[in-house]
């Protein structure tokens, strides 16, 4: 069973070789970028749930027609002519 010994020897590292467990700079940068994306995704999810629960909270109280003098709301078409 020499083939089996070679197969197990290639899968299991020998005792005198230490595996390199440190991350490269590219891996660290990618990991940090993915973490930032997850934070951004979490913020977006919270914001979407806030809008779904109270959709009128972020709307301004005034409208575009409040500043027009002498015009009722809905009569803006006549003011353009």
pLDDT (tens digit per residue) in 47-77? 999 989 988 877 777 666 555 555 555 555 5
Q: Decide if pLDDT at 16 tops 90.
A: no
Per-residue DSSP letters for 2-57?
Answer: HHHHHHHHHHSPPTTSPP--PPPHHHHHHHHHHHHHHHHHHHHHHHHHHHHH-TTS
């Amino acid at each position: 069973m020499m083939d089996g010994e070679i197969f197990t020897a290639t899968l299991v590292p020998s005792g005198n070789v230490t595996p390199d467990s440190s991350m490269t700079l590219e891996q660290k940068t990618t990991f940090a970028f993915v973490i930032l994306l997850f934070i951004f995704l979490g913020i977006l999810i919270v914001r979407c749930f806030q809008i779904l629960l109270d959709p009128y909270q972020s709307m301004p109280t005034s409208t575009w027609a409040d500043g027009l003098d002498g015009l009722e709301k809905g009569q803006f078409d006549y003011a353009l002519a």
